[in-house]
Amino acid sequence: MKNFYQEKPVISFKSESVEMGVIIAAIKSLDIPIEVKRSVYIIIRNESGNGRSVVNGTNPGGVQSDSGKWPDKWDDSIVATSIKHENRTGIERGFVVFDSLTTGILFMAERLQARGLYIGGTTKKITKVAVTTVNELASAYYKEWVEGSATYHLSDDELDGFVSMYKQAAKLFV
């Protein structure tokens, strides 16, 4: 496994629980478009099991340290890395540890915006499609972020869960 942050200390991996109210408050405090806030909320819920599994208490999106170097502006905010066998694949993966939970949430907002993963965005990495509906957002998220495959087809359960979370997000972030 390659670690793109070899200059940072490697610390023990801990899966920490963070109350969703804390995450919601942090998202609400961000000066970003409403649709980006909604995407951040959904994807953090999905990636962290509703806040029950936040990497070392600061990385709610499961941002990895072995998939490449993140933009330089995040270098000072990434304070360490940790290693764990990935839940979905069982493969050993490296994860970044941010200086705070708020930074981890801000990172997610910036990356989702940069990748066009919000209603009103255009995906940039795999599918390169305009995202205009919640169903398109769900499909883009799974193709662009989860699976890394333009041919991935969502299950009905995945789509239903995503749509349900979007409806909740629409009530929280207005």
Count up the domains in the chain and report the number: 1
Please compute, for residue 56, the number of CA atoms within 13 A of its CA located in the half-sphere on the CB side.
25
Q: Is residue 10 part of a domain?
A: no
The CA distance from 49 to 107, in Å, is 18
Q: What pLDDT score was predicted for residue 22?
A: 98
Q: What does the pLDDT look like over 92-149, one tens digit per residue?
A: 999 999 999 999 999 999 999 999 999 999 999 999 999 999 999 999 999 999 999 9
Q: Which CATH number goes with the domain that contains 127?
A: 1.10.530
CA distances from 141 to 7, 21, 58, 84 (A): 31, 23, 22, 23
Of all residues in the chain, the percent with pLDDT exceeding 90 is 96
Q: What pLDDT score was predicted for residue 1?
A: 87
Q: What pLDDT score was predicted for residue 2?
A: 93
Q: Is residue 38 part of a domain?
A: yes
Q: Is residue 2 part of a domain?
A: no
Domain of residue 43, residue span: 15-172
Q: What pLDDT score was predicted for residue 86?
A: 78
Q: Is residue 3 part of a domain?
A: no
Q: Is the pLDDT of residue 87 over 80?
A: no
pTM confidence score = 0.94
Q: What does the pLDDT look like over 156-173, one tens digit per residue?
A: 999 999 999 999 999 999
Q: What does the pLDDT look like over 3-18, one tens digit per residue?
A: 999 999 999 999 999 9
Q: What does the pLDDT look like over 104-119, one tens digit per residue?
A: 999 999 999 999 999 9
Which sign does the torsion angle of CA 150, 116, 114, 108 carry?
negative
Q: Is residue 107 part of a domain?
A: yes
